A = this chain, B = another copy of it.
Amino acid sequence: MNLVLLREEDFTAPGRARLTGRRQRHVLEVHRAEVGDELVVGLLGGSVGRGRVTSLEDGLHLEVVLDQPPPPKLPLTLVLALPRPKVLNRTLAAATSLGVASIYLVNAWKVEKSYWKSPRLSEENLLEQRILGLEQARDTVLPALHLRRLLRPFAEEELAGIVQGTTALLAHPGVPGPCPRDAGGPVVLVIGPEGGFIPAEVELLSRSGCRPVNLGERILRVETAVAALTGRLF
């Protein structure tokens, strides 16, 4: 936790916040904060600044000044075939920490149906994983997150609009074109499931404006691929 993320409801008065629960424990046990210490804080969806610990009685009390903008987002929209539940958590946190602006989780032939029933798809967990990513990267602004359980209508009706004015890429092993570097503008990046998109899906996504590009011989885990491609493109 490189930034303590505050919510409106943490404020007891203007410039005064009170932490309890996970954040209080983390600040006490990991940061070993004492009265008078300063922490990097931010307001969810708002500015970044500093919080001075004023009291540890009945919660952790902070005097807060928020005077800096959060880091800018990357103009990157990720379209991910829904990963396995335990991979999903890590991928959401990593993508958020990297500054991805928007994430679509979509279905694909090789996404197991059970993944869509995982408790990790609860709104609460999807929020928590992105919050962990924000706290890691000292950001305050959640990436937008959309779930699309049907690939075809998403690709045919929605994706064409999303890709407009962007470099739209479909990471796919075995195609000839390499992934470009330093895109210099907004990018939509589509990444398939373990085992890849099937040919009909590649065709569908290509028709919606995504250019298949290859990432070399190595097959990477989705969270590794997201980070490597983000580093390459921005």
Contacts and interface: CB of A to CB of B under 8 A. Distances in A.
Interface of A: 2, 71, 90, 94, 97-99, 136-139, 181-182, 216-221, 223-225, 227-232
Contacts of A218: 71, 97-99, 137-139
Nearest to A70: B217
Contacts of A221: 94, 97, 136
- The 9 residue pairs across chains A and B that have the minimum distance between CB atoms: A228-B231, A231-B231, A227-B227, A231-B232, A137-B218, A71-B217, A227-B228, A224-B227, A2-B219
Contacts of A136: 219-221
Nearest to A219: B2
A162 to B, nearest CB: 23
A228 B98 contact: yes
Contacts of A217: 71, 138
Q: Which of A2, A137, A138, A219 has the most CB of B within 10 A?
A: A219
Given A136-B219, A139-B218, A218-B139, A94 B231 contact: no
B98 A220 contact: yes
Q: Which of A2, A225, A231 has the most CB of B within 10 A?
A: A231
B94 A224 contact: yes
Contacts of A216: 71
16 contacts: A71-B217, A94-B221, A97-B219, A97-B221, A98-B220, A99-B218, A136-B219, A136-B221, A137-B218, A137-B220, A138-B217, A181-B182, A225-B227, A227-B231, A228-B231, A231-B232
